[in-house]
Amino acid sequence: MIGAHSPALLILFPLLASFVIAGLIWLDRRLCFPVAVIGLFGSVYSAGHLFFQVLETGAISYRFGGWPPPMGIELQVDQLNILVLVVISLVALINFVASKRSMHTELGIKDETFYVLYLLFVAGILGVTATADLFNLYVLIEISSLASYGMLAMGHPDRAPWASLNYVFLGVIGASFYLLGVGYLYIMTGSLNMGDVHSLLPPIMHSPAIVVAFIFCLIGVWVKMAFFPLHGWLPNAYTFAPVSASRVIAPLMTKVMIYVMIRIMLSVFGYEYVLEKLDLHKWVVALASAAIIAGAFMALAQQELKRMLAYIIVCEVGYMVGGAWLGNVQGLTGAVLHIINDALMTFALFLVLGNIVYIRTKTRFEDLQGLFASMPWTMAGFVLAGVSIIGVPPTCGFFSKWYLILGGIEAGAWVFVVALVLSSLISAILVFRIVEIGFFPADDSDHEAYDHGQEVLKEAPVPMLGALGLVGTGLIAVGIWSGFLVQRVILPFIQQSVAS
């Protein structure tokens, strides 16, 4: 009975839990944390259940309230989004359990209010991923964005509100462009259901209104995912945010928006239309290559760990957009696989960041000296995540990059291939620079300040390290099983939607 409703329960668990917590704040604050964990665990359970169901029977369509699709709202879970759903729910749960203490130290008395926003955010992005209705997608994007504005503003008191306000302005522009694109599609087809729009489009494909609709949707989603020329809001918003917020927003928000782009390209407009009628893909791949190079170099220019990680995200977004627009199955497979892998890699890096912030509070490069001596486990996690960002087998980063490069060669997009290889080299510099700084203790000239000379072992609390260990194992496990994921889950869907 519950199994049949798991697509809805996936979203409803965190949504209801957030309402319950909002009430519990006045009744008994001690109950808030367990309720939040139950809500997040409910969505992990539903996602796991759906994963095995999709493996067995293929796509699942769920009708809200029993109304059939063109009229009612439909949730659809298929091979494309099931992996994203599993990753979102797992990352949200692991981060929540791991950051209990750092939420308390960073936010003080406001931490239960933060839980409410956290769960709303998770419900929003799970909904964005699961929905098959274009307008519903807009509303859920705004729910998750509004929650993230609130969370990001709770950080550094001088800078966070202003950074968050700039994010509000750009976020509103992005979402409004998307809504406008949906409006044009609605004028032309009279429908809002993705599958229905897809079947109604072929006779009117030549219309310029469809092109305008596609471009509006695309630009809207690009703003939200911080694709290179539109990335301005991201570094400040993520740098000044409380670390427990950026740990969940940074890995998930941009990846979910990339998923939305791929979903719109494949399931609404159709890959053939996007590639052949529009003839935009050469430009987009060139822009993506520019994004990769620019992101990598801007990351290289930073002197602060948080900002460096923020620019690495900008760079990684370029990988996925480029892969999706290469126009062949390899590139698309790489892009979808990289959504999963990059969510995990970024999450691992931000977990490391959270541990460092919890112990040392400062993350400028000169404050990172002696980290290997004082926080060996955390730095082991950093090396593992860094190696995965560079793309060394058997970590998962290697496999998706491999598919992306194969796709680039097949499409003859040499600029993209060069950008990928170059950015891998730059990430190697980025990672080993931190390793070098962390390996040596603070300067001799500061010896008066550090009387004891030797760094003392001062690791992060066990839950934080446990989460890092879990995600680190995940990085290798996803790498080893990436063949299974590609063959059983990603490739069948892509071949089917590219062929049709």
Partner 1 sequence: MSDLLTEIVHKYNYWLYIILMMIGLYAMIAKNNLIKKLVGMNIFQTAIILFFISIGYKEDATIPIIAGGHGDHAAHKAIEASQYINPLPHVLMLTAIVVSVATLGVALALVVMIYQRYQTLEEDEIRMRVKQ
**CB of residue 27 vs partner 1: minimum separation in angstroms?**
25
Which residues pair with residue 61 across a beta bridge? 76
CB contact burial 416-436 (16+ within 10 A = b; e otherwise): bbebbeebbebbbebbeebbe
Measured from the CB atom, is 245 or 274 closer to partner 1? 245
Applying CB under 8 A, which part among 91-99, 168-176, 332-340, 344-352 lies near partner 1? 168-176
Our finding on whether 316 is near partner 1 (CB under 8 A) is no
Distance of closest approach, residue 73 Cβ to partner 1, in angstroms: 12
Among 19, 67, 169, 484, the residue binding partner 1 under the rule CB under 8 A is 169
The verdict on 288 binding partner 1 (CB under 8 A) reads: no
Q: Per CB under 8 A, does 232 bind partner 1?
A: no
**Cα(260)–Cα(51) distance, rounded to whole angstroms?**
19
Q: CB 138 → partner 1: shortest distance, Å?
A: 8
Cβ nearer to partner 1, comparing 96 with 149: 149
CB of 288 to partner 1, least distance (A): 25
Say if CB 149 and CB 249 are below 8 A apart: no
Question: Of 100 and 156, which CB lies nearer to partner 1 in the complex structure?
Answer: 156
Question: Which two three-digit tokens encode residue 237?
Answer: 């918003």
Q: Can you tell me the distance from the alpha carbon of 200 to that of 198, in angstroms, rounded to the nearest whole number?
A: 6
CA–CA separation, 388 and 480 (whole Å): 13
Choice from 22, 139, 435, 437 touching partner 1 (CB under 8 A): 139
C-alpha to C-alpha distance for 170 and 155, rounded to whole angstroms: 19
Question: Please, which residues have CB within 8 angstroms of residue 477's CB and are 6 or more apart in sequence?
Answer: none
Query: Which listed range, 45-53, 73-81, 164-172, 374-382, lies at the site for partner 1 (CB under 8 A)?
Result: 164-172
What's the min distance (Å) between Cβ of 155 and partner 1? 11
Between CA 411 and CA 275 the distance in angstroms is 12
Q: Does 135 bind partner 1 (CB under 8 A)?
A: yes
CA distance 361 to 358: 6
Which residue of 73, 168, 280, 421 would you call a contact of partner 1, by CB under 8 A? 168
| Token pair in block for residue 460 | 């992060």
Is the backbone of residue 467 left (phi > 0), alpha (psi -120 to 50) or beta? alpha
User: Closer to partner 1 at the Cβ: 131 or 289?
Assistant: 131
- As a residue count, the chain comes to 500
**Closest to partner 1 by CB, 209 or 425:** 209
CA distance 333 to 420: 16
Phi–psi pair at 2, nearest 5 degrees: -65, -35
Q: Is residue 162 within the footprint of partner 1 (CB under 8 A)?
A: yes
Does position 187 interact with partner 1 (CB under 8 A)? The reply is yes
- Residue 192 CB burial class (10 angstroms; 0-12, 13-18, ≥19): buried
Q: Which of 183, 393, 463, 466 binds partner 1 (CB under 8 A)?
A: 183
**Does residue 150 bind partner 1 (CB under 8 A)?**
yes
Q: Which one, 162 or 365, has the nearer CB to partner 1?
A: 162
159 versus 277: smaller Cβ distance to partner 1: 159
179 lines the binding site for partner 1 (CB under 8 A) = yes
Nearer to partner 1, 146 or 470 (CB): 146
Residue that the structure tokens 């994010």 belong to: 167
The reply on whether position 153 binds partner 1 by CB under 8 A is yes
Record the tokens describing residue 447, joined without a space.
């010896």
157 near partner 1, rule: CB under 8 A: yes
Closest CA to 352 of 389, 324, 317, 298: 389
Q: Which stretch binds partner 1 (CB under 8 A): 23-31, 81-89, 172-180, 245-253?
A: 172-180
Count of beta carbons in the 10 Å neighbourhood of residue 370: 19
**Which residues contact partner 1 (rule: CB under 8 A)?**
135, 138-139, 142, 146, 149-150, 153, 157-159, 161-162, 164-165, 168-169, 172-173, 176, 179-180, 183, 186-187
